[in-house]
Amino acid sequence: MNALVRESLFGRLSNFLTNNKFFPYPELEAPKIKALPVSASVSATSSTSTAPEPIQQFLIEFSGPNDPDTPRNWSKLAKTLVMLDVMFLNFSFYAASAIFTPSITGIEEQLGATTAEGTLGLSLFVIAYGIGPLFLSPLSNLPAIGRTPVYVLGSLVFCLFNIGTALGKNIETILILRFFGGFFGSAPISVGGATLMEVYGPSEVPYAIALYAVSGVCGPILGPVCHPFYHQT
């Protein structure tokens, strides 16, 4: 559970701001080396230059199959929380695509848009979330970035574009914001499957992927159903 908190946005920020004191990474702690006095009998020839040693390459991996930091060794509670989080993000994103549909009539009446222009709000969103994974998925595989920034920043930008869409005063603004909202909000479908495959073993991952897929299917179905509630409030 400690590893799960450490890898969250809160854990990473705490670790960074405290210079690896809160939620520390053991591999980042500098080893303590005891200094030894230099012998006076060192010959002058010891300072002569020598040929540089060849650069050695090291493979960085977990400390064996029983390493508690390995996601597949996390507790069932931690794994379940990760799966529910990914499923919720996936559901929310797909629901955002279809929840726009009941608003098309109102957009046509209030903004004077045609039916084709109103439908573009849905079409551009769907096109964008087909393009987004081409960029977000490779970024999440870079060691310097990882999965968490893609999830957090993508979801944050997605929410901001949705707020802008709700406040848009003309059809052009709404269409542009819908496109970029679909692009940056595609983080769950870009790295969701990869996240579950890293957390669950070969015998468990098919069930996790199945539940993940169900959450995506439920989004477009329940999105329009939830629209009247948000419209009234």
CATH number for position 202:
1.20.1250.20
- Report phi then psi at 38, rounded to 5: -80, 130
Is 151 part of a structural domain of the chain? yes
Is 200 part of a structural domain of the chain? yes
Give the span between the Cα atoms of 12 and 136, in whole angstroms: 20
Is 153 part of a structural domain of the chain? yes
* Angle value at C-alpha 220, between 216 and 221, nearest 5 degrees: 105
Domain of residue 171 covers: 75-227
Mean pLDDT of 14-38: 66
Give the total number of structural domains in the chain.
Answer: 2
Would you say residue 14 has pLDDT above 90? no
Would you say residue 87 has pLDDT above 90? yes
Give the span between the Cα atoms of 55 and 92, in whole angstroms: 48
Mean pLDDT of 167-171: 90
Q: Which of 54, 45, 3, 52 is nearest to 24 (CA)?
A: 3
Average pLDDT, the chain: 82
Model pLDDT, residue 34: 60
Residue 84 — pLDDT band, cuts 50, 70, 90?
Answer: very high
Would you say residue 180 has pLDDT above 80? yes
Task: Tell if the pTM clears 0.85, that is, is over it.
Answer: no
Same domain? 26 vs 80: no
Same domain? 218 vs 118: yes
Same domain? 115 vs 64: no
Model pLDDT, residue 200: 93
Would you say residue 20 has pLDDT above 90? no
Same domain? 12 vs 92: no
Same domain? 89 vs 63: no
Is 50 part of a structural domain of the chain? no
Model pLDDT, residue 156: 93
- Scored b (16 or more CB within 10 A) or e, 123-148 reads ebbeebbeebbeebbebbeeeeeebb
